[in-house]
Amino acid sequence: MNSLNYSSKALDVLTEFHEKPYIVYVEGVDDIPFWNTIFKAFHIKNYILKPAGGSPELEKYCQSITTDNVDIFVARDTHFTEILKTKIIHPRIIWTYGHSIENSLYHPNNLAEVISIFSRSQSYDVSLAEKWLLQFTEEFRYLLIFELVNQKYNLGLEILGDACGKFVDPKKHHLTSKQTINERENELAQAIDKKKYKRCEKLFTMIASKKPIFFLIRGHFLTMAINSFIRHEGKNSSKKPPSISNESLYTNLVLILKNECISNSSRDDIQYLKNQLEVFT
């Protein structure tokens, strides 16, 4: 745990050491700006965010909370726990609304705003961003179900991977390669038991009826396509595609999310996060 195997007793005294009443562990340093934005937007004070050093380490902190009632908090990605019904419900374990933090950052409202910024235009129609995001992620519906089968039954297969590059059009990275996706679906259909697939399809369909599919896919997987879509749409407005690093994209989206929390907190994902933070008040 963070280079040290803290005992439950040691974890309990961390609040005194840091002189903060709330110690909140997150997966890694990249998660800190997101959670710091959420906490500040909803006026949470006297907390410190600490990187756990990875998902397995964060899981240990969750166990300290649920097993030993250690007085710390965890803020973490939901991943597929909601769909597979393995999500731990505890007031000191805070979950993302979607698969990961990026799913809230890549919300159509945020994309429309960042396109407006990079294209130097007054505004961008959010419905266009929503249409693209829904269509793009819908193409992965069946591979997502295979991903669930793989995780539920510990098959050890690589289904989607960490990035969408191999599944996009080689010339238009904001569009999928339907041929590549279909080929992978056919390969997996031959390798995976149909009954297992049907069980996971039912679980996926249940959750997908409650929230858009772009919340159910690994957020980081979408980064390349998100970046390409913003550059493509920026070119349509300014005739010159903006140059956007992933670091710059992340920074801008975090700042936009802060404004969304303040001005549009009725958004489902933002309201979900806000409700969980009531434990701090």
The pLDDT of residue 16 is 54
17-31, 119-133, 220-234: lowest mean pLDDT where? 17-31
The alpha-helical segments, DSSP class H, found in 169-222 are 178-191, 194-208
Chain mean position to CA 97: 8
* Three-state SS sequence of 248-275: HHHHHHHHHHHHHHHHCCCCHHHHHHHH
**225 against 19, higher pLDDT:** 225
Q: Structure tokens of 236?
A: 């349509």
DSSP state of 106: T
Token match 């993302």: residue? Answer: 96
Give yes or no for residue 236 having a pLDDT over 60: yes
Alpha-carbon distance 101 to 236, whole Å?
A: 28
* Residue-wise pLDDT tens digits, 166-220: 999 999 999 999 999 999 999 999 999 999 999 999 999 999 999 999 999 999 9
* Residue-wise pLDDT tens digits, 29-45: 999 999 999 999 999 99
- What does the angle CA 251 – CA 52 – CA 8 come to, to the nearest 5 degrees? 145
pLDDT averaged over the chain? 92
Give yes or no for residue 3 having a pLDDT over 60: no
Average pLDDT over every residue of 2-8: 47
Average pLDDT over every residue of 239-251: 87
120: number of Cβ within 10 Å: 11
Phi, psi of 165, rounded to the nearest 5 degrees: -50, -45
Question: 67: which residues sit within 8 A by CB, 6+ positions away?
Answer: none
Strand partners for 26 = 51
Token match 């597979």: residue? Answer: 84
| Calculated CA dihedral for residues 196, 201, 206, 209, nearest 10 degrees | 170
144: number of Cβ within 10 Å: 25
Predicted confidence band of residue 122 (pLDDT cuts 50, 70, 90): confident
